[in-house]
Amino acid sequence: MIHRPLRYVAGSVLALATAVPSLAAQSQSELTEAIALAKSKIYPALCNISVVAKGFEAGRTVRHQGSGSGTLISPAGHVLTNYHVARDAVRIVITLTTGEQIPADVVGHDPMTDLSVLKLRVDERENPHKPLPFATFGDSDKLEVGTSVLAVGNPLSLSSSMTLGIVSNPHRVFAGAGGQLFEFDFDSGNRTGLFTVWIQHDALILPGNSGGPLVNLNGEIIGVNTRGGRGLGFASPSKLVRAVVAQLLSFGEVRRGYIGASFQPVAKLGRKSGAMISAVVPTGPADKAGLKTGDLVLAIDGEPVIARFAEEVPPVYQMIAELKIDKSHSFSILRTGKKMEMQVKVAKMQDYVGKQIEVRSFGLSVQNITAPMALLRRYPNNKGVYVTGVRPGKPFEEAKPAVRSGDVIVALAGKPVENLASFKKIVKGFEGKELPVTFRRGRQTVVTLVDLEEEDKPKSGGELAKPWLGARAQVMTEEVQKAMGLVGTKGFRLTEVFPWTKASAAGLKMGDVLLAIDGEPFNSYRPQDAKDLKNAVEEFGVGETVPFEILRDGKKMTLDVELEESPSSSIDAKTGRSRFFEFRVRELTFMDRIGRQMTKEQQGLIVTQVSNGGWASIAGLPRGALILAINGQAIGDIDSFDKLMKRLKKEKPRVIPVFIKRGVSTAFVFFEPDWSQLAGK
SS3 83: helix
Q: Domain total for the chain? A: 4
pLDDT confidence bin for 189, thresholds 50/70/90? low
Q: Could you say which DSSP state residue 126 is in?
A: S
- Determine, yes or no, domain membership for 146: no
pLDDT confidence bin for 183, thresholds 50/70/90? low
Nearest to 407 by CA among 367, 455, 378, 442: 442
SS3 152: strand
> How deeply is 415 buried, as exposed, middle or buried, from its count of CB atoms within 10 A (0-12, 13-18, 19+)?
middle
How confident is the model at residue 330, as a pLDDT? 97
SS3 546: strand
Task: Please check whether residues 443 and 478 belong to one and the same domain.
Answer: no
- Whether the CB-CB separation of 205 and 223 falls below 8 Å is answered with no
- Determine, yes or no, domain membership for 96: no
pLDDT digits (tens, 9 = 90+) for 299-353: 999 999 999 999 999 999 999 999 999 999 999 999 999 999 999 999 999 888 8
- Residue after which a domain boundary falls, among 323, 348, 373: 348
188-202, 450-464, 490-504, 657-671, range with the lowest pLDDT: 450-464
Cα 279 to Cα 276, 295, 381: the distances in Å are 9, 10, 19
- Determine, yes or no, domain membership for 170: no
Task: Please check whether residues 594 and 654 belong to one and the same domain.
Answer: yes
pLDDT confidence bin for 180, thresholds 50/70/90? confident
- Determine, yes or no, domain membership for 157: no
Q: Give the Cα separation of 194 and 391 in Å (integer).
A: 36
At 120, phi and psi to the nearest 5?
-65, 145
- Whether the CB-CB separation of 653 and 674 falls below 8 Å is answered with no
Contacts of residue 77, defined as CB under 8 A and 6 or more positions apart, other chains included, come to: 102, 104, 119, 120, 122, 132
pTM above 0.85, yes or no: no
Residue type at 309 in one-letter notation:
F
Task: Please check whether residues 667 and 603 belong to one and the same domain.
Answer: yes
Maximum Cα–Cα distance across the chain? 125
At 212, phi and psi to the nearest 5?
-80, 160
Q: In the predicted model, what is the mean pLDDT of residues 654-670?
A: 94
Task: Please check whether residues 534 and 627 belong to one and the same domain.
Answer: no
Residue positions annotated with a catalytic role: 84, 114, 210
Give the DSSP H/E element, type plus range, for residue 221: strand 221-229
pLDDT at residue 566 tops 60 = yes
Task: Please check whether residues 261 and 344 belong to one and the same domain.
Answer: yes
Whether the bond into 401 is cis, omega within 30 of 0? yes
Q: Give the Cα separation of 154 and 656 in Å (integer).
A: 28
Q: What is the overall mean pLDDT for the chain?
A: 89
56-70, 113-127, 444-458, range with the lowest pLDDT: 444-458
- Whether the CB-CB separation of 366 and 375 falls below 8 Å is answered with no
Task: Please check whether residues 672 and 585 belong to one and the same domain.
Answer: yes
Task: Please check whether residues 378 and 431 belong to one and the same domain.
Answer: yes
- Residue after which a domain boundary falls, among 451, 484, 503: 451
- Determine, yes or no, domain membership for 209: no
- Whether the CB-CB separation of 314 and 195 falls below 8 Å is answered with yes
Task: Please check whether residues 541 and 583 belong to one and the same domain.
Answer: no
Q: Give the Cα separation of 435 and 420 in Å (integer).
A: 17
CATH of residue 477's domain is 2.30.42.10
How confident is the model at residue 559, as a pLDDT? 96
pLDDT at residue 9 tops 50 = no
pLDDT at residue 529 tops 80 = yes
- Residue after which a domain boundary falls, among 451, 475, 508: 451
Question: How many residues would you count in the chain?
Answer: 681
How confident is the model at residue 44, as a pLDDT? 94
- Determine, yes or no, domain membership for 122: no
Nearest to 408 by CA among 359, 434, 435, 444: 444
pLDDT at residue 185 tops 90 = no
pLDDT digits (tens, 9 = 90+) for 93-150: 999 999 999 999 999 999 999 999 999 999 999 999 999 999 999 999 999 999 999 9
Q: Give the Cα separation of 584 and 570 in Å (integer).
A: 13
Q: Which of 61-65, 153-157, 179-183, 273-277 has the highest mean pLDDT?
A: 273-277
- Determine, yes or no, domain membership for 518: yes
Task: Please check whether residues 440 and 477 belong to one and the same domain.
Answer: no
Q: Which of 24-33, 133-142, 352-361 has the highest mean pLDDT?
A: 133-142
Task: Please check whether residues 656 and 581 belong to one and the same domain.
Answer: yes
Q: Give long-range contacts, CB 8 A cutoff, 24+ apart: 99-105.
A: 100/125, 100/126, 102/77, 104/49, 104/77, 104/79
Give residue 542's Cα distance to chain centre: 53
Task: Please check whether residues 579 and 559 belong to one and the same domain.
Answer: no
- Determine, yes or no, domain membership for 72: no
**Domain enclosing residue 415, as ranges:** 356-451
pLDDT confidence bin for 650, thresholds 50/70/90? very high
Cα 406 to Cα 356, 377, 385, 441: the distances in Å are 13, 10, 10, 7
pLDDT confidence bin for 570, thresholds 50/70/90? confident
pLDDT digits (tens, 9 = 90+) for 237-269: 999 999 999 999 999 999 999 999 999 999 999
pLDDT confidence bin for 4, thresholds 50/70/90? very low
Q: Give the Cα separation of 453 and 432 in Å (integer).
A: 10
Instruction: Report the share of the chain in percent with pLDDT over 70.
Output: 92
Task: Please check whether residues 338 and 398 belong to one and the same domain.
Answer: no
